[in-house]
């Protein structure tokens, strides 16, 4: 008997068949119901924060009214359009007019968002407040603040740092460098300089298999140190269900509120397995933009497949490998430890891109990888040390030729949103 399965693919679905006796498990986030009153949930979070003063008291205690709101870009599913107008209204009531507020698109090292993309991200709020793209590699827009206790230089957005009130809005999902997204990650790498991000990401580039799903790790702690020392006053973190509806909003201290949000997110995104099958098919949703984003799904799959098994990564990669970081392709299939040593010696002009290459290289060592993508060509796929397949069914046939037709198969529907728990 055959079982037809599906994974999200951009705004649609891709279907494929697996023999029922071969199917080990299907990993997907648990679809908890959303709250009935999203506005009420957001207001509750802002007015009763975890580990910090309520917003109105934060404003009253600030030296001035100049406010920076940090939001993530369109590669994330954070409901910015829902939260932002409520937050702006609360700031207005607290005595901060719209004219004193700037929204910073916390891009990390992603490309600038276009005016149309910003309007889509912020909605009607684009008519209320100024929105600016973070420029991670423009020294004129950055400020250097010293170092972390580990010696990493702290370089952040000048507009963010010079604000009297700073608030970060983001969503909580598993992350293979930070353990979980959200919280201080809106500052590092969100509004940090290239040198800061490169150093912290390099530190986690080889050790990420021990980090994914663990919020108490050295990389997360250093991110929080950057956010704390640079002055982030409050975070607003969401937990969403499969329909991207709000399940929970937690606001407050950059560490305490984050951990409380992670506690709720674990109920949705952690997936325990007792079997690592020969083959794992992973959809990259919601990391569809490029291979730079899709590697999150590859990370989860590499941990869930049998060592030396095969991962089939089904990733649209609508913008290719990485428009901002061509070094991912230029370095091809160079061994990760070799690249790490070269990066540690300061060899590369794009140190952030190099850290992603190292992480992907570790994934290549953990498993044979077959890529199914509309945005990455066969030539470029092979150049990166991966195998190419035109569709999922063809990739399954390739994997079965390697492991046998009775090979066990696992499926991850939302690969960038799963935190595997091996038991």
Of 23, 16, 10, 11, which Cα lies nearest the Cα of 391?
Answer: 16
For residue 170, with 0-12 CB atoms within 10 Å meaning exposed, 13-18 middle and 19 or more buried, which class applies? Answer: buried
pLDDT in tens, 30-51: 989 999 999 999 999 999 999 9
As a whole number of angstroms, the distance between CA 113 and CA 413 comes to 28
**Tokens representing 224?**
């929080």
For residue 66, with 0-12 CB atoms within 10 Å meaning exposed, 13-18 middle and 19 or more buried, which class applies? Answer: middle
Q: What pLDDT, on a 0 to 100 scale, did the predictor assign at position 74? A: 83
Q: What pLDDT, on a 0 to 100 scale, did the predictor assign at position 190? A: 97
Q: What pLDDT, on a 0 to 100 scale, did the predictor assign at position 5? A: 97
Per residue in 219-240, is it b (16+ CB within 10 Å) or e — as a string?
bbbbbbbbbebbbbbbbbbbbb
pLDDT in tens, 89-128: 999 999 999 999 999 999 998 889 999 999 999 999 999 9
Statement: residue 76 has pLDDT above 90: no
Q: Mean pLDDT over residues 118-139, rounded?
A: 96
Q: What pLDDT, on a 0 to 100 scale, did the predictor assign at position 332? A: 96
Statement: residue 11 has pLDDT above 90: no
- What are phi and psi for residue 178, nearest 5 degrees? -95, -5
**CB within 8 Å of 246: residues ≥ 6 apart:** 34, 35, 38, 41, 42, 79, 82, 238, 239, 240
**Tokens representing 305?**
């497949």
Q: What pLDDT, on a 0 to 100 scale, did the predictor assign at position 324? A: 87
pLDDT in tens, 371-409: 999 999 999 999 999 999 999 999 999 999 999 999 999
Sort residue 306 into left (φ over 0), alpha (ψ -120 to 50) or beta: beta
pLDDT in tens, 322-377: 988 999 999 999 999 999 999 999 999 999 999 999 999 999 999 999 999 999 99
Statement: residue 75 has pLDDT above 90: no
For residue 63, with 0-12 CB atoms within 10 Å meaning exposed, 13-18 middle and 19 or more buried, which class applies? Answer: exposed
pLDDT in tens, 277-314: 999 999 999 899 999 999 999 999 999 999 999 999 99
pLDDT in tens, 140-186: 999 999 999 999 999 999 999 999 999 999 999 999 999 999 999 99
Q: Where are the beta strands (DSSP E) in 112-172?
A: 130-133, 142-147, 153-157, 165-171
**Tokens representing 404?**
């046998």
pLDDT in tens, 172-228: 999 999 999 999 999 999 999 999 999 999 999 999 999 999 999 999 999 999 999
DSSP 42: H
pLDDT in tens, 54-74: 999 999 999 999 999 999 988
Sort residue 213 into left (φ over 0), alpha (ψ -120 to 50) or beta: left
As a whole number of angstroms, the distance between CA 288 and CA 105 comes to 19
């Amino acid at each position: 008997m055959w079982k037809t399965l599906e994974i999200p693919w951009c705004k649609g679905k891709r279907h494929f068949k697996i023999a029922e006796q071969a199917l080990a498990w299907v990993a997907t986030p648990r679809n908890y119901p959303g709250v009935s009153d999203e506005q009420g949930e957001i207001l509750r979070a802002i007015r009763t924060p975890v580990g910090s003063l309520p917003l109105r008291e934060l404003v009253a205690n600030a030296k001035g009214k100049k406010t920076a709101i940090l939001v993530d870009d369109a590669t994330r599913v954070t409901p910015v359009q829902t939260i932002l107008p409520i937050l702006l209204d609360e700031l207005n009531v607290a005595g901060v007019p719209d004219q004193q507020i700037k929204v910073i698109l916390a891009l990390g090292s992603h490309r600038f968002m276009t005016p149309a993309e910003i309007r889509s991200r912020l909605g009607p709020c684009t008519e209320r407040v100024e929105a600016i793209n973070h420029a991670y590699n423009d020294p004129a827009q950055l400020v250097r603040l010293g170092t972390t206790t580990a010696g990493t230089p702290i370089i952040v957005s000048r507009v963010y740092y010079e604000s009297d009130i700073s608030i970060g809005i983001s969503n909580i999902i598993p992350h293979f460098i930070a353990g979980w997204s959200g919280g201080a990650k809106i500052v590092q790498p969100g509004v940090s300089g290239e040198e800061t991000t490169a150093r912290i990401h390099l530190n986690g580039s080889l050790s990420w298999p021990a980090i994914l799903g663990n919020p108490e790790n050295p990389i997360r702690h250093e991110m929080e140190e950057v956010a704390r020392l640079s002055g982030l006053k409050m975070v607003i973190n969401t937990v969403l269900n499969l329909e991207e509806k709000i399940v929970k909003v937690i606001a407050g201290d950059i560490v305490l509120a984050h951990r409380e949000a992670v506690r709720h997110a674990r109920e949705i995104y952690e997936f325990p397995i007792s079997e690592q099958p020969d083959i794992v098919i992973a959809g990259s949703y919601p990391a569809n933009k490029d291979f730079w984003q899709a590697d999150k799904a590859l990370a989860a799959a590499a941990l869930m497949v049998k060592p030396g098994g095969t991962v089939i990564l089904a990733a649209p990669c609508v913008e290719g490998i990485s428009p901002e970081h061509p070094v991912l392709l230029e370095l091809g299939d160079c061994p990760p430890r070799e690249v790490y040593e070269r990066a540690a010696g300061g060899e590369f002009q794009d140190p952030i891109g190099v850290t992603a290459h190292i992480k992907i290289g570790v994934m290549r060592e953990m498993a044979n990888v077959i890529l199914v993508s509309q945005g990455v060509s066969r030539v470029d796929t092979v150049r990166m040390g991966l195998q190419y397949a035109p569709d999922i069914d063809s990739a399954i046939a390739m994997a079965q030729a390697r492991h046998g037709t009775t090979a066990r198969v696992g499926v991850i529907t939302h690969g960038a949103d799963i935190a595997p728990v091996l038991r």
